[in-house]
């Protein structure tokens, strides 16, 4: 049972009037408040049920308040990194609260000392409360709009839940700084960078659709699943193992799929079906016939969700294989620089050129993301690769660490289904005599993000280590590394051949 606490009933408007009645704030020198902030910092949009958290740093021993007298609690120094005078407060937004209308406004925090002195300061950024009665909608602006799990960040960006096509409609229920919080389905939320979406005019409904009946078919290049919807809804996809399958959740979708027509010509897809794990999540389950997933592309044709499933190459050999190579950095993006002045962008291009020659010598066709000292950005590289539809991608970089002690070779992948390619490259790179630094999964690198083809990143060696730098700058060693990477791709293909029915071309147990 909920208790009624009088100050909770205070309306935000009344509080703003209270602020206007305060005496003029003391001059800067006499300030009792050093800093006020929302936690997390930055402009915030909140919906009913969300927690508004504030922090005030100022003179200890006072009474701090916000929202018309709602108290903040002064933290014990042990909870505030030894500091006194840090006050924190939380307020759960109620459906009837309003603040600052459509744009929001800064939030005032107040501090009063026992001797009667007082001070007030607004938060640096605005706080806006969203009305559940007028859903705020946005559409994605690019074909590589990514959803983040949370507000985390590092040099590669926050951890990503996945990528969306353009013009996907999303329900915005909040914002912190540069990201919208979107509600995907009951209990499912994600974050979307502001620049990846455009807000729609008011009046729309929360995105939802019934699903139509599927068409499942193959053409000369790939297998396809098509699911008609009434609008472009957000989705999340995963490649799962044992048995190998794609699982795609469409948020806001409810089944009216009454048949799944499977036409002739399918070569990658097994017995596809769907589940409805909750009322507003429609799940496609797409078992694959082969143990190794060769990737898939997810997007819309009008309002029909299309899953294009790649097939294994006709022959598991380098001859005839279309291989994409990416030389890291380029142009004004120099990358890491060694003690000798060697630059990553030059080394990656030199090694990739050697690798290209080696692969072409073995009969492969090579696609490059750059052929000289150009610096295409990640989105341009991904767009080019998705257009070129290679069988697989290897991105080549040079590692660098704060300590000169770190050395050795490493390989990176994002999806566990693509681990075998990274592992094969890593194994061969160690045959050059470089020590193994590690095999890294779930790597949040832009070129490991696409699901279209197996991909791996090779951090050849550490330019920040003198011994490794000598190897990286030696043309003979560059050629050796290139040969070993070609061997790695060969091993990746061969392991599929060697295992017979258990190999990648072999049928899954359920298919035998
Ligand atoms: Zn790099």
User: What pLDDT does residue 496 have?
Assistant: 75
How many angstroms separate the CA atoms of 494 and 319, rounded? 12
How many whole angstroms from 398 Cα to the centroid of ligand 1?
Answer: 5
Distance 150 CA to ligand 1 centre (A): 25
Q: How confident is the model at residue 16 (pLDDT cuts 50, 70, 90)?
A: very low
* All structural domains of the chain: 6-124 (2.60.40), 136-199 (2.30.30.40), 209-310 (2.60.40.3500), 322-497 (3.40.630.40)
Q: What is the pLDDT of residue 407?
A: 97
DSSP state of 418: G
Which of the 8 DSSP states describes residue 404? Answer: T
Dihedral of alpha carbons 367, 371, 373, 374, sign: negative
Compute the distance from residue 197 Cα to the ligand 1 centre, in Å: 29
Distance 396 CA to ligand 1 centre (A): 8
Give the DSSP letter string of 183-224: EEETTEEEEEEGGGEEEPPTTPPPP-EEE--EEEEE-SSEEE
Please give the mean pLDDT across all residues of the chain.
Answer: 91
Q: Which residues pair with 306 in a beta bridge?
A: 226, 299
The rounded distance, in Å, linking the Cα atoms of 213 and 193 is 33
Rounded to the nearest whole angstrom, what is the distance from the C-alpha of residue 458 to the centroid of ligand 1? 10
How many C-beta atoms lie closer than 10 Å to residue 511's C-beta?
Answer: 13
On the question of pLDDT at 305 being above 90, the answer is: yes
Is residue 127 within 8 A of residue 177, CB to CB? The reply is no
CB 288 within 8 A of CB 242: no
348 Cα to the center of ligand 1, angstroms: 8
Look at residue 478 and tell me whether its pLDDT is greater than 90: yes
Which residues have their alpha-adjacent CB atom under 5 A from ion ligand 1?
328, 335, 397
pLDDT tens-digit readout, 133-174: 999 999 999 888 999 999 998 888 899 999 999 999 999 999
pLDDT score, position 4:
32
| Pair 75, 68: CB distance under 8 Å | no
C-alpha 383 – ligand 1 centre gap (Å): 19
Instruction: Tell me what pLDDT residue 123 has.
Output: 97
Mean pLDDT for 448-472 is 97
Residue 26 binned pLDDT confidence (cut-offs 50, 70, 90): low
Q: What is the 456 CA–ligand 1 centroid distance (Å)?
A: 13
Q: How far is the CA of 270 from the centre of ligand 1 (A)?
A: 39
How far is the centre of ligand 1, averaged over its atoms, from the C-alpha of 293 (Å)?
27
Residue 450 Cα to ligand 1 midpoint, Å, equals: 18
Pairing of strands 304-310, 296-301: antiparallel
Q: In the prediction, which pLDDT does 20 show?
A: 42
Distance in Å, CA 335 to ligand 1 centroid: 5
Cα of 325 to ligand 1 centre, how many Å?
14
Pull the structure tokens for residue 307: 């899953």
pLDDT for 356: 98
For residue 498, the model assigns a pLDDT of: 56
Q: Does 297 have pLDDT greater than 50?
A: yes
Residues facing residue 242 across a β-bridge: none
Whether residue 248 contacts residue 236, with contact meaning beta carbons closer than 8 Å, is answered with: yes
- C-beta of residue 355 within 8 angstroms of C-beta of residue 432: no
Tell me, what DSSP letter sits at residue 229? -
Exposed/middle/buried for residue 42 (C-beta within 10 Å: 0-12, 13-18, 19+): middle
pLDDT score at 29: 56
- pLDDT tens-digit series, residues 417-429: 999 999 999 999 9
Q: d(Cα 204, Cα 206) in Å, to the nearest integer?
A: 7
Q: What spacing in Å lies between the alpha carbon of 161 and ligand 1's midpoint?
A: 23
Question: Distance, CA 407 to ligand 1 centroid (Å)?
Answer: 15
Residue 103 pLDDT > 90: no
CA of 123 to the centre of ligand 1 (A): 39
pLDDT at 501 over 80: no
Whether the predicted pLDDT of 96 surpasses 90 = no
Q: What is the pLDDT of residues 329-382, one digit of tens each?
A: 999 999 999 999 999 999 999 999 999 999 999 999 999 999 999 999 999 999
For position 27, what pLDDT does the model report? 55
The secondary structure of the chain in percent helix, strand, coil, rounded to multiples of 5, reads 20, 35, 40
Please write the tens of the pLDDT for every residue from 79-95. 999 999 999 999 999 98
With tokens 């799940």, the residue in question is: 283
pLDDT band at residue 10, thresholds of 50, 70 and 90?
Answer: very low
Output the CA 492–ligand 1 centroid distance in Å: 24
Residue 353 main-chain phi, psi, to 5 deg: -65, -40
According to the 3-state scheme, what is the secondary structure of 56-86? EEECCCCEEEECCCEECEECCHHHCCCCCCE
Distance 334 CA to ligand 1 centre (A): 9
Reported as type and span, the H/E element at residue 362 is: none
**pLDDT tens, position by position, 209-249:** 999 999 999 999 999 999 999 999 999 999 999 899 999 99
pLDDT band, residue 307 (cuts 50/70/90): very high
Length in residues, the chain: 512
DSSP state of 69: T
How far is ligand 1, taken at its centre, from the CA of residue 437, in Å?
16
Q: Look up residue 333 and give its DSSP letter.
A: B
CA of residue 329 to ligand 1 center, whole Å: 6
- The residue among 330, 314, 226 whose CA lies nearest residue 497 is 314
Where residue 102 falls among pLDDT bands split at 50, 70, 90? confident
pLDDT tier, 25 (very low <50, low <70, confident <90, very high otherwise): low
The angle subtended at Cα 491 by Cα 457 and Cα 406, nearest 5°, is: 40
Ligand 1 centroid–CA 287 distance in Å is 36
Place of tokens 């539809």: 389
CB 428 within 8 A of CB 490: no
Distance 115 CA to ligand 1 centre (A): 59
Q: Among 151, 148, 156, 144, which Cα is nearest to 445's?
A: 156
Sign for the pseudo-dihedral over CA of 25, 31, 35, 38: negative
Within 8 A by CB and 6+ apart from 171, the residues are: 135, 136, 137, 182, 183, 184, 206, 207
Position 271 pLDDT exceeds 80: yes
116 CA to middle of ligand 1, Å?
Answer: 58
CA 457–ligand 1 middle distance (angstroms): 10
Torsion angle of the four alpha carbons 483, 488, 493, 494, in this order, in degrees rounded to the nearest 10? 90
Residue 343 corresponds to which tokens in the numbers above? 């630059």
Task: Report how far residue 282's alpha carbon sits from residue 244's, in angstroms, rounded to the nearest whole number.
Answer: 20
Ligand 1 centroid to residue 67 C-alpha, Å: 48
Closest CA to 227 of 293, 325, 299, 146: 299
User: 311: Cβ–Cβ under 8 A, 6 or more apart, which residues?
Assistant: 221, 222, 223, 267, 268, 294
- The angle at the Cα of 293, spanning 289 to 296, to the nearest 5 degrees, equals 105
Q: What is the pLDDT of residues 390-411, one digit of tens each?
A: 999 999 999 999 999 999 999 9
Answer yes or no: is pLDDT of 472 > 90: yes
Model pLDDT, residue 509: 44
Tell me the backbone φ, ψ of residue 185, rounded to 5 degrees.
-165, 175
């Amino acid at each position: 049972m909920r208790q009624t606490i009088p100050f909770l009933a205070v309306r935000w408007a009344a509080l703003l009037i209270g602020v206007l009645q305060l005496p003029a704030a003391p001059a800067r020198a006499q300030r009792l408040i050093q800093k006020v902030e929302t936690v997390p910092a930055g402009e915030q949009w909140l919906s009913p049920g969300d927690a508004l958290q504030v922090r005030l740093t100022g003179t200890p021993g006072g009474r701090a308040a916000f929202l018309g007298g709602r108290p903040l609690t002064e933290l014990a120094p042990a909870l505030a990194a030894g500091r006194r005078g840090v006050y924190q407060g939380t307020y759960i937004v109620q459906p009837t609260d309003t603040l600052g209308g459509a744009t929001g406004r800064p939030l005032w925090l107040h501090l009063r000392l026992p001797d009667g002195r007082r001070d007030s300061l607004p938060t640096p950024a605005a706080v806006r409360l969203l009305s559940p009665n007028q859903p705020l909608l946005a559409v994605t602006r690019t074909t590589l709009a990514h959803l983040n799990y949370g507000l985390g960040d590092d040099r590669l960006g926050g951890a990503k839940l996945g990528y969306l096509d353009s013009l996907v409609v999303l329900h915005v229920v909040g914002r912190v700084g540069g990201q919208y919080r979107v509600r995907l389905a009951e209990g499912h939320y994600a974050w979307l960078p502001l620049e990846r979406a455009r807000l729609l005019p008011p009046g729309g409904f929360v995105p939802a659709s019934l699903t139509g009946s599927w068409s499942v078919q193959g053409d000369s290049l790939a297998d396809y699943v098509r699911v008609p919807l009434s609008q472009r809804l957000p989705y999340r996809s995963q490649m799962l193992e044992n048995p190998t399958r794609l699982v795609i959740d469409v948020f806001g979708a409810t089944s009216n799929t009454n048949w799944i027509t499977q036409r002739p010509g399918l070569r990658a897809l097994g017995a596809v079906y769907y589940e409805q794990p909750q009322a507003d999540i429609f799940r496609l389950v797409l078992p694959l016939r082969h143990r190794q997933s060769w990737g898939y592309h997810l997007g819309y044709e009008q309002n029909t969700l299309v899953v294009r499933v790649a097939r294994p190459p006709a022959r598991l050999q380098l001859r005839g294989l279309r291989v994409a190579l990416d030389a890291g950095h380029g142009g004004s993006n120099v990358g890491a620089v060694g003690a000798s002045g060697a630059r990553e962008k030059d080394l990656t291009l030199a090694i990739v050129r050697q690798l290209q020659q080696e692969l072409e010598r073995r009969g492969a066709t090579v696609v490059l993301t750059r052929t000289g000292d150009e610096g295409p950005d990640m989105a341009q590289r991904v767009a080019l690769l998705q257009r070129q539809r290679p069988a697989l991608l290897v991105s080549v970089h040079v590692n660098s660490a704060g300590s000169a002690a770190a050395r050795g070779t490493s390989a990176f992948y994002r999806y566990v289904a693509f681990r075998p390619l990274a592992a094969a490259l890593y194994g061969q790179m160690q045959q050059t005599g470089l020590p193994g630094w590690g095999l890294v999964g779930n790597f949040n690198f832009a070129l490991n993000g696409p699901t279209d083809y197996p991909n791996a990143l090779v951090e050849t060696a550490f330019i920040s280590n003198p011994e490794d730098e000598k190897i990286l700058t030696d043309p003979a060693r560059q050629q050796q590394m290139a040969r070993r990477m070609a061997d790695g791709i060969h091993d990746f293909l061969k392991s599929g051949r060697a295992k017979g029915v258990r190999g990648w071309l072999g049928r899954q147990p359920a298919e035998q």
